Structure 1
Amino acid sequence: MPDVPRPRAGRTQTVKASIASHEPLAGRSPRLARRRHETRVRLLDAAFGLVAEKGIDGVTISQITDAADVGFGSFYNHFESKERIFAALVDWLFEEFANTLDRLSRGLADPAEVIAVSVRHTLLRACREPVWGQLLIREGLSARALSRGLGQRLLRDTKRGIAEKRFMIADELMCVISVIGTVLAGIAAELDLATSSRRAVRTRKILRSKAEKFAESTAAIVLQAFGLAGLEAEKIACRPLPAAPQEVTA
């Protein structure tokens, strides 16, 4: 089952879980640490909601603090600038998704299928959550994205495939960059198709079917870049997707 958008309340719960480990607690009372943590969560959640509505360039710090019900000056206790909160937001979004991909591919013995599942879920999520897809296009080849989260997972899975002699490539880093470029181009094409369709609402099921087929085709192209033969790549790319893990609710 492909990724589906989560309601805002569920997203806030996920933010709390994902940034908890990054919030230093030493030297603070438990109550102060908890209040600081909750404020940071509200700011990040508000930023994501506003980005979804207005785009990154259309959001101001005052809009973020108003939406989070946080004093304007309190913003700077957590982030130095608008750019820093967006960087933290991007880190959270892609680290969260990278963890989701790890759970989805857990138990898959074939490194090629791991790559195919990751590519397909990435394209399908971008299609269902255009803001997320736009952020990935913007940040996908940045130094931050390549050095952590999705970039490091892809490099890890590539090395695994090479070690198991499943992938035949000359330069693993250049292959990873090429694969990311292919996926980002695919996302851009899908988002353009979805936004340019005047009958997008009435043809949602058709667009979803096309997105799934496109995700499979993109995954097959990626696998061929890793050295698999075309027919085998297409077969692996069309295997049923692992079911998305159920979220734990409080």
Structure 2
Amino acid sequence: MIADKGVSSRWRASQSHVLGKLSGFSSVQIIHIVSFWTSLVKSNQKCFQWRSTSQGAGMNRRQEIGAERRERTRHKLLAASARVVAELGENRASIDDFIRAAGVSRGTFYNHYSTRKELLDDLWTSIGRAPFFQIQRACEGLKDPAERLATQARLVFACAVRNEAWGWLVYSMSGDSEAIAEDLLQYPRPDLEIGREQGRFRFDNLFAARDLVVGSVRSGLRAVLQEARPTRYGDALCVMLLKALSIDDEEAHEIVARPIPELIELVPEG
């Protein structure tokens, strides 16, 4: 309000000064002069508004360009990191490995991620999690917890063969003490609990049973990806898992012989 009063006072003083100068002109001349003065003021106001709008639009566009460039760099880091995980396989990838593969500076890396764990978590969220959840959804229609558990493991093996980068990502994340994906640790738990409640499974400790399933799947992934085990290797491992959970031999073989859901749209070929 104080600023507005100051502007108004200056405007009135300027107006009085101009009107004093116009005392020697005829009324017609004064009308023309005042009309010109008014149009000049309006023109200046429009010019100021245009400049302000243009500056604001330019600033917004610069911010958009910066955000787009940052997102492109993030995707570049993620794609390179997925390649590193696939290439190194069992060996533990380092931040330096990710930086070299992406061709970025160390400062650029730390602009996006503070730690190796942050990168791996983003990698799992962006690339690994969706196929993993799709595998779980594909098995939701199976009523028997034993069949669900075995079918999920068989699909993980099949998807890893189809896309090795994804397979190595699952392997790496499931065994990395600094970045264990909660999704991987929790996936067998519901079926283990239901199976025990229904009398399908028998075990003393839920966490031990969970570690048995996750550890066996992880070992199976390494064998499939690194040692090129035959296709039926994963099925044989699933039979042994079911038997360890107290499913008899004949039924375990029958469950694993059942067809699995199609892999179309689950994991793209890598």
The reply to whether residue 136 of structure 1 matches residue 174 of structure 2 is no
CA distance in 2, matches of 1:246, 1:127: 15
CA distance in 2, matches of 1:226, 1:74: 48
Would the aligned equivalents of 1:186 and 1:218 in 2 still touch at CA under 8 Å? yes
Determine the structure 2 residue equivalent to 1:237: 256
SS where residue 165 of structure 1 aligns?
coil
Root-mean-square deviation (Å): 3.4
Mapping 1:56-75, distance limit 5 Å: 56-57=93-94, 59-66=97-104, 73-75=107-109
Mapping 1:161-176, distance limit 5 Å: 161-176=195-210
SS where residue 228 of structure 1 aligns?
coil
Shift of residue 239, structure 1, vs aligned partner: 0.3
1:221 corresponds, among 240, 251, 258, to 240
Structure scoring higher RCO (CA < 8 A, sep ≥ 6) equals 1
Would the aligned equivalents of 1:141 and 1:177 in 2 still touch at CA under 8 Å? no
Determine the structure 2 residue equivalent to 1:153: 187
Shift of residue 193, structure 1, vs aligned partner: 2.9
Distance 1:77 1:193, change over 3 A: closer
Shift of residue 63, structure 1, vs aligned partner: 3.5
Distance 1:54 1:98, change over 3 A: closer
Would the aligned equivalents of 2:238 and 2:256 in 1 still touch at CA under 8 Å? yes
Distance 1:93 1:240, change over 3 A: same
Would the aligned equivalents of 1:175 and 1:225 in 2 still touch at CA under 8 Å? no
Aligned amino acid, residue 231 of structure 1: E
Distance 1:109 1:245, change over 3 A: farther
Greater gyration radius: 2
Would the aligned equivalents of 1:65 and 1:75 in 2 still touch at CA under 8 Å? no
Determine the structure 2 residue equivalent to 1:200: none
Mapping 1:1-250, distance limit 5 Å: 31=64, 36-53=70-87, 56-57=93-94, 59-66=97-104, 73-82=107-116, 84-90=118-124, 92-142=126-176, 148-194=182-228, 210-211=230-231, 213-244=232-263, 246=265
CA distance in 1, matches of 2:101, 2:227: 31
Would the aligned equivalents of 2:145 and 2:191 in 1 still touch at CA under 8 Å? yes
Mean CA deviation greater in 236-245 or 73-82: 73-82
Can you list the C-alpha shifts for 1:178-201, whole angstroms capped at 9, x where unaligned? 12222222223333432xxxxxxx
Identity of aligned residues (%): 27
Shift of residue 93, structure 1, vs aligned partner: 4.4
SS where residue 97 of structure 1 aligns?
helix
Aligned amino acid, residue 179 of structure 1: V
CA distance in 2, matches of 1:102, 1:85: 24
Would the aligned equivalents of 1:51 and 1:59 in 2 still touch at CA under 8 Å? no
Unaligned stretches of 5+ in structure 2? 1-60
Distance 1:237 1:81, change over 3 A: same
SS where residue 168 of structure 1 aligns?
coil
Determine the structure 1 residue equivalent to 2:39: none
TM-score, structure 1 as length reference:
0.66
Would the aligned equivalents of 1:141 and 1:180 in 2 still touch at CA under 8 Å? no
Aligned amino acid, residue 82 of structure 2: F
Determine the structure 2 residue equivalent to 1:3: none
Aligned amino acid, residue 78 of structure 2: L
Would the aligned equivalents of 1:98 and 1:153 in 2 still touch at CA under 8 Å? no
Shift of residue 123, structure 1, vs aligned partner: 1.9
Would the aligned equivalents of 1:62 and 1:72 in 2 still touch at CA under 8 Å? no
TM-score, structure 2 as length reference:
0.62
Distance 1:106 1:145, change over 3 A: farther
Distance 1:41 1:226, change over 3 A: same
CA distance in 2, matches of 1:127, 1:103: 20
